[in-house]
A and B are shown apart, each in its own frame.
Chain A
């Protein structure tokens, strides 16, 4: 071995099983040590923000689903809350609580996918199968309520698409009661596993200052001990009424972020059970003919409802002139929508501040000086979705 080994440049991606999509990382290596690491993004840029400008607000909803495709409903929630803020409407309590339930289920589903793939990347096959077993139960529940598995698109501006099907709440209750038991299975495989600990502990340590400098959010920030959770810091959807903890780590390494996400799934279960206990009967959408679609039975029998339906479909919801910024806690971090309205039914400009894009920026800092195999652990621990990065 010479004193100054030759540097080798390796392209990881855009097709690589562990980059969680189409991320390309240009890695400069000295032996096995990463000297420089430059992420190259844009391989999944689909122009969602530009497409939104040509669509009515209702038509934008399916586009938001596909921003972070592991947590479709969480993106819907961010978008509808922003538009509702601009409209100045408040949804009825039943709709609000159902939104909380679906959003927290989405959080569990997203974290389960992260758990399965992250463990798989580091060489553990079984957690993937365990995690997918429970994730499929959630997919079934989404399907029952909205008809779609991956993209329920169940929220609407001003409420929900339809009421819950019969017996759905019982199934969700059953899931939330059995899920903490199932989580013990995952923990038995990973938490005290010496290989897992060697691969994750002290890998990718982030200090509090670094988190603040890079504006990181979500479990990546909480792993370093910053209790920043939008649900607690700036509550929306009535999160202030719920009793839940914001788990934080101490060392800010990959292992701590793992523990934070595991605890978040348990807390989400608690929130869902509380929301189910309080779930009232009543309307699922605001009583405002300029925002909410009329009942289908009325459309066929009353001329006013027919006209209302026609106008909402043809013209869309007219949103008053102005601009709005609304942030929510998506599974991967802080998701914010900034919408500028010019008074028409289409957004003049819609911008999504997505957590993956911001969190990805820290990858080069984390990987430099580490082994190449740690890069895979680091990509997993930031929990990025490339559509969320590129939009």
Chain B
């Protein structure tokens, strides 16, 4: 890390450091594929298998037999995409308001918003289920989508980002030109915070993709299962077929990988365009 500063240290070491960090980060993902492509007995050998085996397709077939893999993948896709779009819009709007618009009790509302993040979620399951049940949303995707459409985390993140990256002068100028607040948001703020959109987008997408605590309470019918819930049902009560579970998990990770690459492209586009100059 000290390498960064000392001018004499060749970039070579930087790359070594990054490569090392990357290997540590990727290894469990790789190992997931290793186990997912072997049999239980292969996995139980000492030293453990470190290379992919020949059983991936076989394990995948077991997964397909037991769960509606693509159906639940589609549900996850619908949920995550809708949530992400809604979150990006609502959170950036609210973040903009908190960062750049003055209104009464703003601090109170903001503190309140922060405080909501500090509530431990586990005990909310029963009362939240009562609400969903009263709305008649059990086994319907909106039971997961609607509560997730805007979150304190996103608002907070957008507020911090907008506060640090959009100069006030720019706002003043637009105001003098007669722009309304929404026009300022749409024409000035949105284009300037692309990196924030990419970041919040990937984080939101991934969170809702991997979430299971809440979905499993409200989505019980097989037709409404998300991929994470479906994958959990691969776990039998008395025995665990790790290769099958990890093969399924591996395959279910590929879609978010693709989503990441899409956002990543946006992200890099954001870099080259450069930030707003003051």
Instruction: Specify whether A and B are partners.
Output: no
Interface set of B (CB-CB < 8 Å, partner A): none
Interface set of A (CB-CB < 8 Å, partner B): none
